[in-house]
């Protein structure tokens, strides 16, 4: 597999933290952080948990049929829904599909490698992450309130990784034995994380991916040149968080 310098795919450097947006879900500190996606069926609830409606995916050509069955149109959200008191099972054909087991996927990926200082023992240790090319997809709710796969224009680092595709697991294990699934007290959850090659201490993703100057948050050309990339022409999928900045060009 070919190796590359990150400098060959990065265009400019970031001068302030705002240039690097770290997309970490608010649930990251909760016990359920980064669990497999739960199928919500777009149910809206009032206080007390009483169901008020279920949103529907109704094509324009079928709107009259849905309306005849009792569906109503929400002009502010631009979505058809099942009002309270109407049986949602009448609308099975328009109910949103269950979400997939993973929320991030790509046709290929790169293993990113750099060195950083272990916060515990102070020794330099190798760190690893994944870089996804432009065109990778995330499963999320769009502006139309419909969950779907969305294609991203820029490349992205991936952090807080769970449910990693077995072929990717096999590949990263062939490179290092210090990147593996472990429990984090900070997030109260388990995810794939780096460990110091010398003392074995866990190296959390926040410092590496979300703090300026972190192992995978380069702030200048020197930081950029220290990151090596190994291209893997195989599918990638996982749950986790994506982060991107003006440094990472379209691949």
C-beta atoms surrounding 249 within 10 Å: 13
Cα(71)–Cα(85) distance, rounded to whole angstroms?
Answer: 11
- What is the C-alpha separation between 129 and 160, in angstroms, rounded? 10
Structure tokens at 223: 């930081």
Written as six digits, the tokens of 158 are 């991936």
pLDDT at 19 (0 to 100): 39
Measured CA to CA, the distance from residue 78 to residue 228 in angstroms comes to: 46
H-helix or E-strand spanning residue 67 = helix 63-69
Low-confidence ranges of the chain (pLDDT < 50): 2-21, 23-52, 250-251
pLDDT number for residue 30: 35
- The DSSP secondary-structure symbol of 177 reads S
Buried b (16+ CB within 10 A) or exposed e, 90-123: ebeebbbeebeebbbbbeebbbbbbebebeeeee
Select from 50, 49, 94, 51 the least CA-distant residue to 71.
94
Any bridge partners for residue 181, and if so which? 192
pLDDT at 200: 97
Half-sphere exposure of 25 (CA within 13 A, CB side): 19
């Amino acid at each position: 597999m070919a190796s590359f310098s990150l400098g060959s795919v990065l265009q400019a450097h970031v001068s302030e933290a705002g240039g690097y947006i770290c997309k970490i879900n608010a649930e990251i500190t909760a016990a359920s952080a980064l669990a497999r996606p739960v199928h919500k069926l777009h149910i809206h609830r009032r206080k007390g948990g009483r169901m008020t409606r279920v949103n529907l995916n109704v094509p324009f050509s079928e709107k009259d049929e849905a309306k005849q069955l009792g569906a109503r149109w929400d002009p502010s959200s631009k979505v058809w829904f099942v009002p309270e008191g109407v049986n949602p099972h009448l609308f099975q054909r328009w109910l949103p599909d269950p979400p997939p087991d993973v929320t991030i996927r790509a046709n290929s990926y790169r293993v990113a490698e750099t060195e950083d200082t272990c916060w515990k023992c102070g020794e330099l240790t190798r760190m690893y992450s994944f870089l996804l090319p432009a065109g990778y997809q995330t499963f999320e709710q769009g502006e139309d309130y419909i969950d779907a796969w969305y294609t991203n224009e820029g490349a992205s680092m991936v952090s807080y990784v769970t449910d990693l595709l077995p072929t990717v697991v096999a590949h990263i294990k062939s490179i290092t034995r210090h990147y593996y699934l472990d429990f984090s007290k900070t997030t109260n959850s388990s995810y794939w994380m780096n460990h110091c090659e010398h003392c074995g201490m866990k190296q959390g993703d926040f410092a590496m991916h979300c703090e300026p100057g972190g192992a995978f948050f380069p702030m200048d050309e020197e930081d950029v040149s220290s990151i090596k990339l190994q291209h893997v022409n195989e599918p990638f999928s996982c749950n986790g968080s994506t982060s991107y900045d003006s440094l990472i060009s379209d691949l």
